[in-house]
A and B are shown apart, each in its own frame.
Chain A
Amino acid sequence: MAKMIGAIEVDIETCKGCSLCVEACPTDVIALADEVNGKGYNYAYMANPDACNGCTNCALVCPDSCITVYRKKVEMA
Chain B
Amino acid sequence: MAEITEDIKVAENIVHKKSSVLTDKVMHYCPGCSHGVVHKLLAEVIEEMGIQDKTIGVAPVGCSVFIYNYLAIDWQEAAHGRAPALGTAISRLRPDRYVVTYQGDGDLAAIGTAETIHACNRGENMVMIFINNGIYGMTGGQMAPTTLEGMKASTCPFGRDPKTDGNPLKITEIVAQLPGTNFVTRQAVHTAAAVRRTKKAIRKAFEKQKDKTGTSFVEVVSTCNSGWKMNPVDSNNWMEENMFPFYPLGDIKDV
Contact = CB atoms under 8 A, between A and B. Distances in A.
A65 B108 CA distance: 26
B233 A65 contact: no
Interface in A14-46: 14, 16-20, 23-24, 41, 46
A63 B10 contact: no
Contact of A50 (B1, B14, B34, B195): B1
Nearest to A67: B16
B192 A72 contact: no
A56 B32 CA distance: 17
A61 B17 contact: no
B5 A61 contact: no
Query: In the complex, which of the residues A18, A46, A68 has the most CB atoms of chain B within 10 Å of its own CB atom?
Result: A18
Given A5-B5, A5-B8, A64 B36 contact: yes
B189 interface: yes
B16 A18 contact: no
Interface residues of A, number: 37
Classify chain B's interface size: 35 or more
Given A60-B195, A71-B13, A65 B22 contact: yes
B163 interface: no
A67 B34 CA distance: 16
Contacts of A69: 14-17
B27 A7 contact: no
Interface in B16-49: 16-19, 22, 26-27, 29-37, 40
A17 B16 CA distance: 19
A59 B192 CA distance: 9
Interface of A: 5-7, 9, 13-14, 16-20, 23-24, 41, 46, 49-50, 52, 54-57, 59-72, 74
4 nearest A-B residue pairs (beta carbon): A63-B36, A18-B32, A16-B31, A18-B31
